[in-house]
Amino acid sequence: MFDSAKKMNQDIGGWDVSRVKNFVRMFYKTKFSKNLSSWDVSNALDMKFMFKRSQFNQNIDGWDVSKVTNFEGMFTSSKFNFDISSWDVYNALSLKKMFMNAKDFNKKLKWDVSRLENTKISDIFDGSGGSFYTQ
pTM of the predicted model as reported, rounded to 2 decimal places: 0.93
pLDDT tens-place string over residues 81-131: 999 999 999 999 999 999 999 999 999 999 988 888 887 888 999 999 999
Query: What's the domain range around 95?
Result: 1-135
The count of domains in the chain is 1
State residue 3's pLDDT score.
64
pLDDT of 1 strictly over 80: no
Average pLDDT, the chain: 93
pLDDT of 135 strictly over 60: no
- Rounded Cα gap, residues 24 and 127, in angstroms: 22
